[in-house]
Structure 1
């Protein structure tokens, strides 16, 4: 497996014993683990092309977990974040979720709960990356179309027949059919269902 596609759990905790224990547990489950003693070390090492999740302690010197979460978001990071704390309270939990955390765990962390949270987070990240890749590919294919082909595609997506599109565009139905065939070829689809999925992947993901 490509190293960049191997899910990695990044642990940031200033307590070495906690880092070691969590690393050991996750590695026994076959997961790749990268432990860090502080936020700046993580920020310097984190590769945005990786997939996985982040386990962040909420109280640390230099940069606390919530602040680190904010800095990661400012950098455009899409890694799911799991917050850990030995000083849990409702306000901290609320703030973590408001900032996009996917889970909030209190220390000492229950092993089963931790593993379930990590597996969910990794699954979420892999799905997000998969959808992103599909969207980027769909936009790339859509960019191949000429202006007229895009107009014909719009008609197809609106449920128009070839004759209806021909009237709308003031061209012959045969010309519409020719453009439709070209659209299918350029988008690399063989059915209307595939065509719609490709179109929606491209359009719905456009900022």
Structure 2
């Protein structure tokens, strides 16, 4: 079985010397680096499924880093973006953060500051993807419930007892217990706390009861 690849940092800067030096620096903390000299090519070709982060120079010929950032956000790209610039202004910094940048650093960039920002960004992205997978799994399991089980689940999350659920749905306590056991098994929830933690948001979106 192959070991999982380390996170990949996409480095977009038209200056080859900058790309080379930053790539060497970033690799010292175990992150892989892919350099891009052409931001348009990057937008066309970079794999959206990668776990990692993006380091993006603000001033480049043809299209600015801020315009690239706007495009990434519009496309729903979830990799955190760290902006670099040699001529930063307060307005530029403000606009970058407003557009969704994770960090804004000035050149010549401090090595420790960049590495810390990258490691924080990668950890953030890993957690974000893990939550996405967990949410998808929760929705798929919830979809397996019958309509009645969904109603019971909604009332359980609201804090109702079996007797109260039975009165609300005109069911016997034994029938509620059966539905409760079935939905707990289907949702792979071992406790009420786990059910609420994993499924409260999904149940609320569904509109039950």
Smaller-chain TM-score bracket: over 0.9
3-state SS of paired residue (1:97): helix
User: What is the aligned-residue RMSD (CA, Å)?
Assistant: 1.4
Change (3 A) 1:7 1:203: farther
SS at match of 1:105: strand
CA distance in 2, matches of 1:113, 1:95: 21
**In the aligned structure 1, how far is the partner of 2:45 from the partner of 2:25?**
22
- Render the CA deviation track for 1:72-92: whole Å, top value 9, x for unaligned: 112110110100000011010
**Match of 1:2?**
4
Q: Secondary structure at the match of 1:76?
A: coil
8 Å contact from structure 1 (residues 80, 102) kept in 2: yes
Q: Which piece of structure 1 moves more, 176-185 or 41-50?
A: 41-50
Question: What are the equivalent positions in structure 2 for 1:179-198 lying under 5 Å apart?
Answer: 179-198=179-198
CA contact 2:154–2:203 (8 Å) conserved in 1: no
* Residue in structure 2 matched with residue 84 of structure 1 by the alignment: 84
Q: CA deviation at 1:200?
A: 2.9
SS, match of residue 92 in structure 1? helix
Confirm or deny: 8 A CA contact 1:83 1:96 kept in the other structure.
yes
TM-score by length of 2: 0.94
Q: Distance in 2 between matches of 1:13 and 1:200?
A: 44
**Contact residue 56 and residue 84 of structure 1 kept, 8 A:** yes
Alpha carbons 2:83, 2:105 under 8 Å: kept:
yes
Indicate the residue corresponding to 2:175 in structure 1: 175
Contact 1:134 1:201 in 2 (8 A): no
Counterpart Cα distance in 2 of 1:171 and 1:31: 57
Structure 2 gaps, min length 5: none
Q: List per-residue Cα deviations over 1:2-43 (Å, max 9, x = no partner).
A: 34xx31111000000000000011112211000000211211
- Residue in 1 that maps onto 2:60: 60
Partner Cα distance (2:78, 2:149) in 1 = 35
Whole-Å Cα distance in 1 between the matches of residues 118 and 205 of structure 2?
27
What is the aligned partner in structure 1 of residue 132 from structure 2?
132
CA deviations on 1:150-184 (whole Å, 9 max, x unpaired) are 11001100111111000000111100000000000
Find the residue that maps to 2:84 and give its secondary structure.
Answer: strand
The alignment partner of 2:53 has SS state of strand
- Aligned positions of 1:160-171 closer than 5 A: 160-171=160-171
State the partner residue of 1:119.
119
Partners of 1:138 and 1:201 within 8 A in 2: no
**Structure 1 stretches of 4+ moved >4 Å:** 203-206
TM-score, with structure 1 as normaliser: 0.94
Q: Quick check: 1:26–1:115 contact (8 Å CA) kept in 2?
A: yes
